[in-house]
């Protein structure tokens, strides 16, 4: 981490720090949508003070309704190399802005949000345009630049090759304010007090490293901050200075956007307008996914036996996934099935689908090309791999021997990679697990596109990698039929779903880590998320497996996956066939998710449109006025109307919180009044799953198998303490709305003509 201060009074060792001390001049933009502030690093009392002094330029611009950007620049002549985030990818909306003077200072409005500059005290206040809500501010000594090591004379800055230059800002934290998001992070849910580096890394789920670093955070005070760079960002969230969030980057510029809500839903919706709405995913992807696991010994017969065993035990598989060793050792990624173990992959995949053992097939890939694999020679010869500065192909032996990295800044390399994907699609592959993409080198490398900064490419590579594969799937199967299983991400990657939680251990603590990771990613603009049910590393005891099954089947997407051990249920407990055994437990939760599909898939469409997480949705999204909701990291919402609390104890004991209102247990029908904390004890077939009052919950037929069926036929409609106007949308398997069920003044459904077959309506 980069520290600029040693306590409140001193600079850190080897640091030279200069702060913007006053607003010397304010220049409005000609179009009235921005202000440029000239800020010297010394108060200017006389003409001589303007000499031998650095300045920071602060550009404050109205970007969209509720969004203002702030850019701090020291030397404007520095190249601003790419890549840059694709902002407003669905089109930039018009913004109503104004600039006016008052006793408070100069104010810029951008729809519902405003910034007021008080040049006398160097305070820039961000607040609602009506002045009713204060958000945060930049105060004295909160904007500046720094050198490391500290130069002894300004003359040394003539040669910057051995000096690091940083820009930083410090936004204020209010009393009791909490901070959330910043991607899929596995530590404490509230980030206040933490030092965080936004730098994608393969660190597992039990460290402060993260696969998915998203430069966006959400505040409990009704706003969010998006840091507009894919470069490494160093954050001190109430840590280096307890009352401020410090944001620092190496370079001459730092830009961020403040996004006003005031509710978390409104903040996330505006963030999705800025960086992109999540992509839609097909209905079949919500069904159960099963993999071969990673280093286990498997072949064509193993796959067949797994799928037959799952069907026989009542947990039919929607998607089967072939993990790494579908290719021969030392060849990843070659795009070629191991012909010793899979002599006829196209034929086997076709037979699996025809027999109904699975509906879709996924395979593992990564952007690394092993030297021994069939693809390496062609990729190296044609310049499709990243190179060192001396012209050599960049290679190392970490992960795959002699592996290179596909240079996706080369359009021809992209075409080649997509051609190889299409060969897999020709064999019947429907989905791709885009693993890795975190270990992207930044030193001694030269990209095909010379305009990019290697340091920015490290995080941004995740965006390019997933975009290319996602769009290849769209081109083959249709716009809304594409789905990934991606491990790495950065801001904007929510457009290419879905993401899963990476390598977790097979422990209850790791399951809790995974929940925190899913909550954080959901508060970073991602609608869909999954994890390795049972844990990836190690072999879970049967009780952990069953508890994780319950949590995992309530995620938006559900996959059984492990490292060196299988995750089919019968290997966990010697094929215990009792009701509390692994097989029956998995069957129950798979069936429950199938029943919930009318609700889940309808809410998925809304989540995409609004930029909200489907599941895991933090309770604070639905109940932002409840202070307790901002600290809940062991439970989550499934859409807006279901609250789930995973069980982390073998005994089945669990403590959970219910916000204001009446809540009905899905399993028992018991009604509890919130707010309050509750304790329960559960077997393996249930957990605290509570339905919010005023909910119209549509459940699929108990006879329905899998995720794809008619969501309007033979359904059960449950009315939970409903009032006039309560609604539920009904969609088809493509996600198109086919009707709405609405409660009338008599407390009953107005019109049920959209429902078919033997449907039932129950009042609870």
For the chain, domains (ranges, CATH) are 283-365+411-610 (3.20.20.80), 638-763 (2.60.40.1180)
Could you read off the pLDDT of 660-692 as tens digits, one per residue? 999 999 999 999 999 999 999 999 999 999 999
Average pLDDT over residues 595-609: 98
Q: State the Cα–Cα distance between residues 125 and 141, nearest whole angstrom.
A: 14
Q: Enter the tokens of residue 94.
A: 């018009």
Could you read off the pLDDT of 735-751 as tens digits, one per residue? 999 999 999 999 999 99
Q: State the Cα–Cα distance between residues 140 and 705, nearest whole angstrom.
A: 62
Q: Which pLDDT value is given to residue 121?
A: 84
Tell me the H-state helices in 540-697. 542-552, 582-610, 619-622
The band of 477, judged by pLDDT with boundaries at 50, 70 and 90, is very high
Give me the chain's average pLDDT, please. Answer: 97
Q: Which residues pair with 460 in a beta bridge?
A: none
Nearest to 214 by CA among 228, 194, 204: 228
Q: Which residues make Cβ contacts (< 8 Å) with residue 595, sequence separation at least 6?
A: 699, 700, 701, 702, 704
Q: Where do we find the tokens 């930044």?
A: 442
Of the residues 22, 318, 430, 435, only one is catalytic, namely 435
Percentage of residues in the chain with pLDDT exceeding 90? 98
Strand order, beta sheet including 653-665: 636-638, 642-644, 689-692, 653-665, 671-681
Q: State the Cα–Cα distance between residues 701 and 693, nearest whole angstrom.
A: 23
Could you read off the pLDDT of 478-519 as tens digits, one per residue? 999 999 999 999 999 999 999 999 999 999 999 999 999 999
Average pLDDT over residues 370-384: 97
Alpha carbons within 13 angstroms on the beta-carbon side of residue 662 total 13
Q: State the Cα–Cα distance between residues 600 and 613, nearest whole angstrom.
A: 12
Q: Enter the tokens of residue 361.
A: 């097939």
- Indicate if the pLDDT at residue 2 is higher than 90: no
Q: Is 22 a catalytic residue?
A: no
Tell me the H-state helices in 200-337. 264-275, 300-312
Q: Which residues make Cβ contacts (< 8 Å) with residue 6, sequence separation at least 6?
A: 12, 13
Average pLDDT over residues 200-222: 97
* Angle of the 508-522 helix axis to the 542-552 helix axis, nearest 10: 10
Instruction: Answer for the pair 143, 58: CB distance below 8 angstroms, yes or no.
Output: yes
Of the residues 65, 234, 503, 537, only one is catalytic, namely 503
Q: Which residues make Cβ contacts (< 8 Å) with residue 420, sequence separation at least 6?
A: 335, 375
CB atoms within 10 A of CB 45: 8
List b or e across 227-242, with b for residues whose CB sees 16 or more CB atoms inside 10 angstroms: bbbbbbbbbbbbbbbe
Q: Which residues pair with 168 in a beta bridge?
A: 144, 248
The band of 120, judged by pLDDT with boundaries at 50, 70 and 90, is confident
Q: Enter the tokens of residue 238.
A: 């109430």
Q: Which pLDDT value is given to residue 1?
A: 81
Q: State the Cα–Cα distance between residues 197 and 374, nearest whole angstrom.
A: 37
Q: Which pLDDT value is given to residue 594?
A: 98
Q: Which pLDDT value is given to residue 760?
A: 97
Could you read off the pLDDT of 275-317 as tens digits, one per residue? 999 999 999 999 999 999 999 999 999 999 999 999 999 999 9
* Angle of the 411-426 helix axis to the 454-477 helix axis, nearest 10: 40
- What are the backbone angles phi and psi of residue 634, rounded to the nearest 5°? -120, 15
Q: State the Cα–Cα distance between residues 251 and 163, nearest whole angstrom.
A: 11
Q: State the Cα–Cα distance between residues 300 and 347, nearest whole angstrom.
A: 11
> How far is residue 59 from each of residues 70, 77, 87, 487, measured CA to CA in Å?
6, 15, 18, 35
Q: State the Cα–Cα distance between residues 264 and 629, nearest whole angstrom.
A: 12
Average pLDDT over residues 98-107: 95
Stretch (H or E) spanning 353: helix 345-354
Q: Is 438 a catalytic residue?
A: yes
- What are the backbone angles phi and psi of residue 110, rounded to the nearest 5°? -135, 85
Per DSSP, the three-state class of 522 is helix
Nearest to 498 by CA among 459, 467, 529, 533: 529
Nearest to 453 by CA among 120, 121, 80: 80
The band of 382, judged by pLDDT with boundaries at 50, 70 and 90, is very high
Average pLDDT over residues 592-599: 98
Per DSSP, the three-state class of 531 is coil
Per DSSP, the three-state class of 494 is helix
Q: State the Cα–Cα distance between residues 216 and 209, nearest whole angstrom.
A: 16
Alpha carbons within 13 angstroms on the beta-carbon side of residue 95 total 28
Per DSSP, the three-state class of 33 is coil
Q: State the Cα–Cα distance between residues 434 and 462, nearest whole angstrom.
A: 10
Q: Enter the tokens of residue 269.
A: 């919706």
Could you read off the pLDDT of 575-587 as tens digits, one per residue? 999 999 999 999 9
- According to DSSP, the β-strands at 25-28 and 319-322 are unpaired
Say how many residues make up the chain.
764
Q: State the Cα–Cα distance between residues 510 and 541, nearest whole angstrom.
A: 13
Average pLDDT over residues 445-460: 98
Instruction: Answer for the pair 96, 111: CB distance below 8 angstroms, yes or no.
Output: yes
Instruction: Answer for the pair 232, 247: CB distance below 8 angstroms, yes or no.
Output: no
Q: State the Cα–Cα distance between residues 447 and 461, nearest whole angstrom.
A: 12
Task: Assess whether the previous peptide bond of 262 is cis (omega < 30° from 0).
Answer: yes
- What are the backbone angles phi and psi of residue 490, rounded to the nearest 5°? -145, -175
Q: Is 236 a catalytic residue?
A: no
Terminal C-alpha separation, the chain: 54
Percentage of residues in the chain with pLDDT exceeding 70? 100
Average pLDDT over residues 719-728: 98
Instruction: Answer for the pair 305, 339: CB distance below 8 angstroms, yes or no.
Output: no
Of the residues 438, 505, 532, 693, only one is catalytic, namely 438
Q: Which pLDDT value is given to residue 8?
A: 86
Q: Enter the tokens of residue 680.
A: 């329960």
515 CB-contact burial (10 Å; exposed 0-12 / middle 13-18 / buried 19+): buried
List b or e across 617-653, with b for residues whose CB sees 16 or more CB atoms inside 10 angstroms: bbbbbbbbebebbbebbbbbbbbbbbbbbbbbeeeee
Q: State the Cα–Cα distance between residues 324 and 366, nearest whole angstrom.
A: 9
Could you read off the pLDDT of 160-196 as tens digits, one per residue? 999 999 999 999 999 999 999 999 999 999 999 999 9
């Amino acid at each position: 981490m980069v520290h600029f201060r040693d306590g409140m009074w001193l600079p850190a060792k080897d640091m030279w720090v200069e702060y913007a001390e006053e607003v010397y001049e304010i220049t409005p933009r000609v179009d009235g949508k921005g202000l440029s502030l000239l800020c010297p690093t010394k108060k200017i009392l006389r003409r001589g003070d303007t000499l031998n002094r650095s300045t920071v330029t602060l550009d404050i611009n109205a970007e969209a309704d509720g969004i203002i950007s702030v850019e701090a620049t020291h030397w404007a002549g520095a190249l601003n190399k790419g890549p840059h985030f694709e902002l407003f990818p669905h089109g930039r909306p018009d913004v109503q802005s104004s600039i006016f003077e008052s006793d408070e200072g100069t104010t810029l409005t951008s729809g519902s949000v405003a910034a007021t500059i008080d040049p006398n005290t160097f305070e820039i206040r961000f607040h609602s345009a009506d002045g009713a809500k204060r958000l945060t501010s930049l105060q004295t000594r909160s904007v500046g630049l720094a050198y490391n090591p500290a130069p002894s004379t300004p003359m040394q800055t003539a040669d910057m090759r051995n000096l690091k230059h940083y820009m930083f800002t410090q936004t204020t934290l209010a009393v009791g304010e909490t901070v959330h998001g910043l991607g899929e992070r596995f530590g404490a849910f509230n980030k206040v007090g933490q030092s965080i580096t936004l730098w994608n890394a393969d660190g597992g789920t039990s460290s402060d490293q993260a696969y998915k670093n998203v430069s966006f955070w959400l505040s409990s005070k009704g706003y969010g901050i998006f840091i507009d760079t894919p470069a490494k960002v160093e954050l001190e969230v109430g840590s280096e200075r307890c009352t401020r969030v410090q944001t620092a980057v190496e370079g001459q510029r730092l830009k961020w956007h403040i996004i006003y809500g005031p509710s978390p839903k409104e903040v996330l919706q505006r963030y999705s307008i800025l960086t992109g709405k999540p992509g839609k995913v097909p209905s079949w992807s919500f069904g159960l996914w099963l993999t071969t696991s990673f280093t286990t010994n498997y072949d064509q017969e193993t796959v067949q036996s797994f799928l037959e065993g799952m069907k026989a035990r009542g947990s039919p598989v929607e998607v089967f996934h072939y993990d790494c060793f579908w290719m021969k050792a030392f060849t990843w990624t070659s795009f070629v099935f191991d012909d010793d173990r899979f002599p006829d992959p196209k034929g086997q995949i076709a037979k699996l689908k025809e027999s109904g053992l699975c509906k879709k097939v996924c395979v593992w890939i990564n952007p690394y090309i092993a030297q021994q694999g069939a693809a390496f020679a062609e990729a190296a010869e044609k310049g499709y791999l990243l190179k060192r500065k001396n012209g050599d192909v960049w290679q190392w032996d970490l992960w795959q021997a002699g592996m290179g990295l596909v240079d996706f800044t080369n359009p021809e390399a992209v075409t080649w990679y997509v051609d190889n994907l299409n060969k897999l699609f020709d064999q019947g592959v429907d989905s791709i697990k885009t693993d890795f993409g975190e270990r992207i080198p930044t030193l001694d490398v030269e990209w095909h596109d010379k305009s990019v900064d290697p340091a920015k490419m490290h995080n941004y590579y995740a965006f390019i990698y997933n975009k290319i594969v996602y769009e290849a799937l769209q081109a083959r199967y249709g716009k809304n039929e594409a789905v990934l299983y991606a491990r790495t991400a950065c801001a904007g990657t929510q457009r290419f779903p879905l993401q899963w939680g990476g390598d977790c251990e097979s422990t209850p603590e790791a399951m809790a880590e995974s929940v925190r990771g899913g909550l954080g990613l959901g508060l970073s603009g991602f609608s869909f998320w999954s994890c390795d049910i049972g844990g990836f590393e190690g072999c879970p005891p049967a009780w952990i497996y069953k508890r994780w099954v319950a949590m995992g089947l309530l995620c938006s997407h559900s996959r059984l996956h492990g490292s060196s051990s299988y995750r089919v249920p019968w290997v966990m407990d010697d094929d215990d066939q009792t009701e509390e055994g692994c097989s029956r437990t998995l069957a129950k939760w798979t069936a429950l998710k199938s029943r919930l599909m009318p609700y889940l898939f309808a809410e998925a469409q809304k989540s995409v449109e609004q930029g909200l997480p489907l599941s895991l949705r933090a309770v604070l999204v639905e109940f932002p006025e409840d202070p307790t909701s901002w600290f809940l990291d062991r439970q989550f919402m499934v859409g807006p109307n279901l609250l789930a609390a995973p069980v982390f104890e073998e005994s089945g004991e669990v403590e959970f919180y219910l916000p204001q209102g009446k809540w009905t247990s899905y399993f028992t029908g018991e009604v509890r009044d919130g707010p309050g904390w509750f304790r329960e004890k559960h077997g393996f077939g249930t957990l605290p799953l509570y339905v919010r009052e005023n909910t119209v919950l549509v459940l699929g037929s108990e006879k329905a198998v899998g995720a794809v069926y008619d969501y309007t036929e033979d359904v059960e409609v449950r009315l939970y303490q409903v009032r006039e106007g309560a609604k539920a949308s009904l969609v088809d398997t493509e996600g198109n709305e086919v009707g709405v069920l609405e409660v009338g003044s008599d407390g009953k459904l107005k019109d049920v003509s959209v429902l078919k077959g033997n449907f039932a309506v129950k009042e609870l």
